[in-house]
Amino acid sequence: MSQHDPRSKNPIVRDVTRPRSSRRKAGLTGWQLAALYLGLAVLPLGAAWLSGIEPVSLTTELGSGLGLLAGALLLIQMLSSGRFESLSGRIGIDRSKSFHRLAGAVVLLIAAVHPLAYLLSTGLDDPSAVWQRLASFVTGQSTRSGLIAFLALTLLVLLPVVRERLGLSYEVWRATHGLLAIGAAGLVLHHGLTTGSYSGERPVLLAWAVLAALALGALVLMYVARPLRMWREAWRVERVTADGEGSWRLELRGPSATSLRFAPGQFIWMTLSPHWPIFHDHPFSIASAEADLPKLRLIVRKAGNCTNHFGSIEPGTRVAIDGPHGSFVLDETGERVLMVAGGVGIAPLLGMLEHAAKAGDKRRFCLIYAGRNPAAFAAIDRIEALSQIIDLEVHLVADQRSGIAGFSPGPLDAPRVAEAIGDPSRTVAYVCGPPGMMAMATDALISGGMSPERVHYERFDDMARGGRLDRRRLRQSIGVLALALAAVAAFTLR
């Protein structure tokens, strides 16, 4: 524990040497993003409305409206991948990726219902003609691009779900995902420009041109500009050491005039030479402070193909890095900072503590750090050193009972997290760890009286969900997509 006075009125020392952690986060707020998303999503619909074509029937207009929306949503998927910090930097990669996945499934659903609405229209006029119309959808030349786009879209949505069962590596999946997305977007554009009563209308053509330009711009940035930018600075691996059972400590060094600046808790995308970034970059949280630049520390768990072999990286190996990214950032709110880490989830929290020590942050910090067994804990030396500098209370919780002093028996549970909250209106919490532990901890914090705005968390495994905060985010995402569908209803009923 440090000797700083935790009751100080202004817990942060405002000092010119303090790293710029309070730097304004890049990106739009959730509301701004939702407005931008909806604006782009309804662009073709609005343009079709403006074209002045008289509606035919409810079912036909519903079919057209759904088709126009599905096409637009598919093209915007290129922008919502979470890779563009200037768009999603504030909401973070976790939320962007979840939204991206949900929107993908909704596009697939809308794309499936869109031809059914036309079939319903035919069926209402002449039930015997339904099969003939269905056959024309499947075999007709005018609908071919739409049909192939639908098949590509189905693969895009299903592959991430079955990837591990099929034994596809993350890199192969990423490559397939990119190629399928580009193919589907091209085919959807072709379908939108050549099929349907609104396809030849000037405003509609203009709307597709705007969306196509944005999608193309996103692709060029993602697959050409970004990989080139990542190699611009000469970053190298300086040292790799084992840090706890099952993880590595990687020390990187950049040029002394590096342009990298980051806030505590952010992450970088990293690719090791001789690989090429597009498909081989991995996200890792920065476990050191900005003030340590041009040195950067990462704590990496052995998780598979890439990270298992970090022990054999030769010192001096070039690395390409892209960053900083992420909204899981230590800010200046709260008089007391509660951190809950599980396993390698310690990495971003360690970065925050390192920053707090460098910045002379006088707040009270409490770290609950859970792991499988005492040997599995990484960065214990750093945590010990930091507790001599800042007001840091540390609780180490090991699942396997060992009798080793300093470790309390696990697994970490909700009462222990709730107990550490203190005054919920003065505490701010940061949680990072395995999915089950995160759901338990964030739920315990909310049940313990903390407002969701004061509970920050970062997920390393983007397929896992479960806590109340996740469900809240899911409801918000569903709300945005429901508004887009409401626009189709308005278009149909006009």
Where along the sequence are the contacts to ligand FAD (CB under 6 A)? 93, 169-170, 267, 281-285, 298-301, 303-307, 326, 344, 347, 458, 460-462
Q: Nearest approach, Cβ of 366 to ligand FAD (angstroms)? A: 21
Q: Nearest approach, Cβ of 428 to ligand FAD (angstroms)? A: 20
Q: 67 vs 244, which CB is nearer to ligand FAD?
A: 244
Q: 67 vs 92, which CB is nearer to ligand FAD?
A: 92
Q: 152 vs 378, which CB is nearer to ligand FAD?
A: 378
Q: 11 vs 326, which CB is nearer to ligand FAD?
A: 326
Q: Nearest approach, Cβ of 462 to ligand FAD (angstroms)? A: 6
Q: Nearest approach, Cβ of 320 to ligand FAD (angstroms)? A: 13
Residue 399 pairs in a beta bridge with none
| Contacting residues for 9 by C-beta, under 8 A, at least 6 apart | none
Q: Nearest approach, Cβ of 96 to ligand FAD (angstroms)? A: 11
Q: 65 vs 433, which CB is nearer to ligand FAD?
A: 433
Evaluate the CA torsion angle 460, 465, 466, 470 in order and state its sign: positive
| Contacting residues for 490 by C-beta, under 8 A, at least 6 apart | none
Q: 283 vs 411, which CB is nearer to ligand FAD?
A: 283
Q: Nearest approach, Cβ of 20 to ligand FAD (angstroms)? A: 21
Q: 51 vs 273, which CB is nearer to ligand FAD?
A: 273
Q: Which residue is nearest to ligand FAD (CB)?
A: 304
Q: Nearest approach, Cβ of 168 to ligand FAD (angstroms)? A: 10
Tell me, what amino acid is at 190? H
Q: Nearest approach, Cβ of 288 to ligand FAD (angstroms)? A: 11
Q: Count other Cβ atoms within 10 Å, centred on residue 17.
A: 9
Q: 66 vs 320, which CB is nearer to ligand FAD?
A: 320
